[in-house]
């Protein structure tokens, strides 16, 4: 019988797993957003995606009640934008962040690889996070550009 896996060991294991980088935004009293490496395609019929957010995150109060969110898949040139939305205690929407109000009033970031404006369909409390499940209502995407990745605790790019 093996011992339970600790949170530290679990995080070390997942440092070996590369994932795409997204910024998720929502409206509220003021715009809210965070950098996510947990965005997952859940279903094609109907189209659904999910992302996880810590219930202690500064942006959680806005996402706890949001009816719509915007998921922005970032390009490899947007490492600084990803870092901005990963920081606490700053106005993530202040210059130089370029954004505008989008469909359903959610903040939409400029220059991203892809955008999915989604309706929240469920929230599932799981461990120290909440899994948010959402269905796209509006999309925009580029045919060019390369995705930003996260691996081994750092932003990475695809090798050419």
* The model's pTM: 0.92
pLDDT digits (tens, 9 = 90+) for 93-148: 999 999 999 999 999 999 999 999 999 999 999 999 999 999 999 999 999 999 99
Asked if 36 and 20 touch (Cβ cutoff 8 Å), the reply is no
Asked if 75 and 156 touch (Cβ cutoff 8 Å), the reply is no
Residue 91 burial (C-beta neighbours within 10 Å; 0-12, 13-18, 19+): exposed
Q: Which of 87, 80, 78, 83 is nearest to 115 (CA)?
A: 78
For position 152, what pLDDT does the model report? Answer: 87
- Taking residues 43-54, what's their average pLDDT? 96
Structural domains of the chain in order of their starting residue, each with its CATH number: 19-156 (2.30.110.10)
pLDDT digits (tens, 9 = 90+) for 17-44: 889 999 999 998 899 999 999 999 999 9
Asked if 28 and 66 touch (Cβ cutoff 8 Å), the reply is yes
For position 93, what pLDDT does the model report? Answer: 96
Per DSSP, what are the bridge partners of residue 34?
24
């Amino acid at each position: 019988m093996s011992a339970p896996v600790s949170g530290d060991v679990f995080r070390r294991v997942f440092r070996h797993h590369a994932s795409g980088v997204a910024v998720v935004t929502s409206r509220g009293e003021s715009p809210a957003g965070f950098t996510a490496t947990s965005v997952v395609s859940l279903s094609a019929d109907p189209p659904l995606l999910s992302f996880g957010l810590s219930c202690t995150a500064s942006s959680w109060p806005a996402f706890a009640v949001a009816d719509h969110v915007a998921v922005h898949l970032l390009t490899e040139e947007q490492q600084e934008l990803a870092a901005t939305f990963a920081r606490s205690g700053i106005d993530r929407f202040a210059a130089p962040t370029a954004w505008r109000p989008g469909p359903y009033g959610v903040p939409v970031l400029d220059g991203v690889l892809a955008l999915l404006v989604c309706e929240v369909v469920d929230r599932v409390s799981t461990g120290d996070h909440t899994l948010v499940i959402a269905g796209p209502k509006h999309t925009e995407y580029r045919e060019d550009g390369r995705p930003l990745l996260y691996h081994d605790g750092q932003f990475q790019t695809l090798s050419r």
